[in-house]
Amino acid sequence: MKKNIINILMYSLFIIIPVISVLFCISFKLAQGEKNEEIVFGIMVGLVLDFIYSIILLSVSLFINKKNKSKPIPTMPPWNEIVELMHDKNLDLFCDEIINVIYSKDNTMRYVILKNKKGLLRYKLEVLHQFDEEAWQYLCMNNDVLPAMWESHYDKSGVSLFVNEEELMKDLKSRSEYKIYYI
Pairing of strands 109-115, 148-152: unpaired
Contact assessment for residue 110 and residue 88, using Cβ atoms and an 8 Å cutoff:
no
Task: Enumerate residue ranges in the chain where pLDDT < 70.
Answer: 1-2, 30-35, 65-73, 93, 141-144, 155-158
The C-alpha atoms of residue 35 and residue 24 are separated, in whole angstroms, by 16
Contact assessment for residue 89 and residue 126, using Cβ atoms and an 8 Å cutoff:
no
The C-alpha atoms of residue 162 and residue 137 are separated, in whole angstroms, by 43
**Global pTM exceeds 0.75:** no
* pLDDT score, position 35: 67
Query: Side chain identity at 121, as an amino acid letter?
Result: L
Beta-bridge mates of residue 110: 103, 126
Query: Side chain identity at 36, as an amino acid letter?
Result: N
Query: Cα 23 to chain center, whole Å?
Result: 44
